[in-house]
Structure 1
Amino acid sequence: MTTRWLTPEEQRAWRAYVAGYLLLEDTIDRQLQQEAGMPHLYYSILANLSEAPERRLRMTDLAERLKITRSRLTYAVTRLEKDGLLRREECRWDKRGSVAVLTDEGMTVLERAAPGHVETVRAFLFDRLTPEQVGQLEEIFTQVTQGLQGGDSEAVPEDLPWRRRSSPCSGTP
């Protein structure tokens, strides 16, 4: 197979994406650490649970929403559970699974952290884009996401993060 090297335009776009993503993620993570005492991943777990019916999600569904491995999710959930921000329950419809549930304390922490988080995202991303660019950003990453999750059968990774387990005893279904 012949390597299809990136064109100079593609190379510039790729490097701009990588630099922007890494800097933005670092900025968001630092803001949340400073103001809420938690990394971006923990905030994302709480936010996803807050939007779910009854503030609960099966661990495998939560891992899929976050696009992370089940073992990484288990580690984060264990820490959040220890801090009283969520709890785990057995899955009523699948005894092999477990459900993460956002506690009232977790909701309070999320509500306190949300304004600073939203302001950081707005200041460092959306305030720098035109409304047309916001639409393009959504369109571009919807297309990329669909391709990586099954929309393009040639390019779909078989080993999606939320399906991975680092060991057979990761504690999630």
Structure 2
Amino acid sequence: MAKILEDVNKSGPLAVSAPTHLGYMRPPENASVFKTISDPSAGPNTRRVELSFNNGAWLRPLPLTGNFFSATTIVVTPMSRGSISLKTSNRRDQPLIDPALLMHDFDRFAFRELFRLARKFVASPTWKDYILDIYTGLSHQWTSTTTPNLTNTSKVRPPWASTPSGRRRCQPEARAEASQTPI
């Protein structure tokens, strides 16, 4: 029955479009956040943020009408650190996972910068007849005064993901810290 529904509804994993373009960028070197926080990236040519673009929407439930274009935001060099611990000694119990996403000032800055860059990208004349408007549920959040609220209330992973994923810095202190974390 599941196979029939997938064939009829076009709702299987192949119905979700993959990103068609990726953009790796660096926020400005003179950004105010760098007055108090050192650069978390590996060097001056390393990108800190990523935008991926695709036709379609990650919104669930999808609006009943419309065509959609999505810009997914990714902080490539996060400074927030989560934790994993065992709830009980029973191996069947789920572990306690706290991704602690967007807990560091740099991560919130980078996330806001990604929204600004995405907005600037889709506002270019190239998209004039392709992107007609921002999704109604988000249009009020694109002002500079509400963008901080957006970073504090955003979903940080797709709703169907069982556990969040992310990238970990490959610096000596991160490797040493990871090797001492009991799992």
Q: Please, what TM-score do these two structures have when normalized by structure 2?
A: 0.29
Greater share of strand: 2
Q: Name the larger-Rg structure.
A: 2
Q: TM-score, normalised by structure 1?
A: 0.30
